[in-house]
A and B are shown apart, each in its own frame.
Chain A
Amino acid sequence: MSSASSVLRDPTMQRQLLAMKQQQEFQANVAKFTEHCWDRCDVKATAKMEAKTSRCIANCVERYLDASSRLSADLPNLLSRMADSRQQAPPSSAKTIWG
């Protein structure tokens, strides 16, 4: 029996939806980096972009991704340190706020 939900259960459909979702994430990141690097590299409203500016934009993206990887790599360590501090008794003021 076919139904609306069978459309979504189709594996081909799911694959294509996943691919579209990934594409959307990619584009969202491009939009974010473009805005950020436009400001960072002080791109000018000229007839032609300077070579140093296009280099700056490329570097901006690469270094952002490097920093992001670095942060992700350090995250397990950071999270375990947060867990350690939570094992201590919370101050009474915290109980007032959350209680």
Chain B
Amino acid sequence: SPASMDSLSSSGVGDGGGSDSDKRQILEQLQQQTALNLIQSLVNTSTEKCFEKCVPSPGGELATSEQKCVSMCLDRYVETWNIVSKVYGSRIARESGGGGGGSSGISFQ
């Protein structure tokens, strides 16, 4: 219906619902949102784990040693992530005989 065509073109993405640049834009936005969700999940979990590990008795402020611990902890968490990503990715590649899509991992440098 004309109404649904208008809503897509009125969002400023061009000449209607079917152009390649529209599709590219949708995919890019989805990709960005997915990456953001991933970072958020990583930050939430590592903050919790590192707080547990480095600040056993929360005091009036974060001691220098505790701050250093948290920093190293985050590095080790990301390192753990990268190991997991590599092992899991290899396993999937092995089991699907090298085929199957979407198994490339994101690793953090």
Contact = CB atoms under 8 A, between A and B. Distances in A.
B6 to A, nearest CB: 10
Contacts of B7: 4
A13 interface: yes
Contacts of A27: 34, 38, 105-106
B47 to A, nearest CB: 12
Interface string A23-37: 111110111011101
Contacts of B76: 43-46, 49
A16 interface: yes
B contact residues, range: 35 or more
Contacts, number: 126
A10 interface: yes
A96 to B, nearest CB: 43
Given A2-B5, A4-B7, A38-B80, A30 B88 contact: yes
Contacts of B91: 61-62, 65
Given A7-B22, A27-B38, A45-B76, A33 B106 contact: no
Contacts of B92: 26
Given A27-B105, A58-B83, A61-B84, A4 B72 contact: no
Interface in A33-85: 33-35, 37-39, 43-47, 49, 54, 57-58, 61-62, 65
**Which of B84, B85, B101, B104 has its CB near the most chain A CB atoms (within 10 A)?**
B84
